[in-house]
Structure 1
């Protein structure tokens, strides 16, 4: 951890969590409409402005939620105007499963930084990379959800990272991690960024912990919890 080879973005921080010392440097932030809903945000734009004000000019990804080209471009421009550290998150497809390539072409032309999100397959990457290859677009591949489907995401991510790193200036982001070890997996396959939720980031400080000590701590935890609960058999 003293020689980081991958950028760490915090996913879904609440307003009061930006000043937490996670024990490791946070390089940026990611958000989506579902996170805003879970945070209880009532005004999408005002909440975005609050988050940007806490970001300390580090990269922050904010997502559009329109489902048509014109509205998506309009929302992207509004979000982009919130700061020079904004990456506008664009879904890989519309809800009808047609690619958002028409939006990507306009945003690239307007030099708007993009975080292309909800990517699951190498074929999706191949479809959009010709448009994005000369930009520093973030390509958010949902490794965790790929694992959820019973597929070995590390193999998919290795294939995607090799392809993107060889053919473009884009950066692959390992999204939706399921455990802290995904930080290591993301590094090993050549991803440039990983986004993790606060509880996952906190556990990174456990890397290198002596497993015998960890075992004993676990035994004592169960023992103390049983005693404090007054359990009897």
Structure 2
């Protein structure tokens, strides 16, 4: 990567209005990303934590809080009944003023979490409503939020795209549905490629969560395509050579 291309990448990212949050559950990676001025906040979830081998949820959360230097971070409840979710949410919120409590849009029986979201938001507890896929869900969540309480509305645009639907117009409409809740921010969740950062920005999203493997690809922004093509050709050649592949030819 040339210095010019690297500078172009950083300039392009700096021009974006959407805030980049690092998504993960590895403390070493969180510590490294906390030193990066590009990263404005952090998110995690029980699936990422399980993959990272986290055993003690509260210990991990408090260790992560010590690393993020006061930047926003979200931790998720994991109960499946709303009374226990509420207790977990209050406990999580008590760990720090920079925490948003992640509440799934429903439980595993498909029962809406809007009543719990309304209760917590009315009491001034910042929530991050997660696993959202539809505009109807966003509309219901918007109605449940207190206009003065900070909230994050996480729409899984990447998973929407996995179904063959274009998430950009959906995200634009979701942003409109939150127009009367100035403290609520729309988050583009589960991005699949670097292009999603620019799509999220164009759609008016306030935040995009980005996993570490995708953050590593940001250096490709603005890369010369002829150079990228040649590097790809060399990669194929080097891999075939290293594998000692052979085709008998006359």
Query: Which stretches in structure 1 are left out of the alignment for 5+ residues?
Result: none
The aligned counterpart of 1:209 is 223
TM-score with structure 1 length normalisation? 0.94
**Residues 1:221 and 2:235 aligned together:** yes
The aligned counterpart of 2:81 is 68
Measure, in 2, the Cα distance between the counterparts of 1:222 and 1:110. 58
The aligned counterpart of 2:28 is 16
8 A Cα contact 2:24 2:30, kept in partner: no
The aligned counterpart of 2:8 is none
The aligned counterpart of 2:10 is none
8 A Cα contact 1:64 1:88, kept in partner: yes
**Residues 1:47 and 2:60 aligned together:** yes
8 A Cα contact 2:142 2:177, kept in partner: no
In the TM superposition, 1:129-140 aligns within 5 A as 129-132=142-145, 134=147, 135-140=149-154
Measure, in 1, the Cα distance between the counterparts of 2:232 and 2:37. 24
Count, aligned residues: 232
8 A Cα contact 1:173 1:191, kept in partner: yes
Farther-moved stretch of structure 1 (21-30 vs 78-87): 21-30
TM-score with structure 2 length normalisation? 0.88
The aligned counterpart of 1:79 is 92
Q: Measured at CA, do residues 109 and 2 of structure 1 come closer, stay the same or move farther in structure 2, by a change above 3 Å? A: closer
Per-residue deviation, 1:176: 0.7
Query: Which stretches in structure 2 are left out of the alignment for 5+ residues?
Result: 1-12
SS in 1 for 2:14: coil
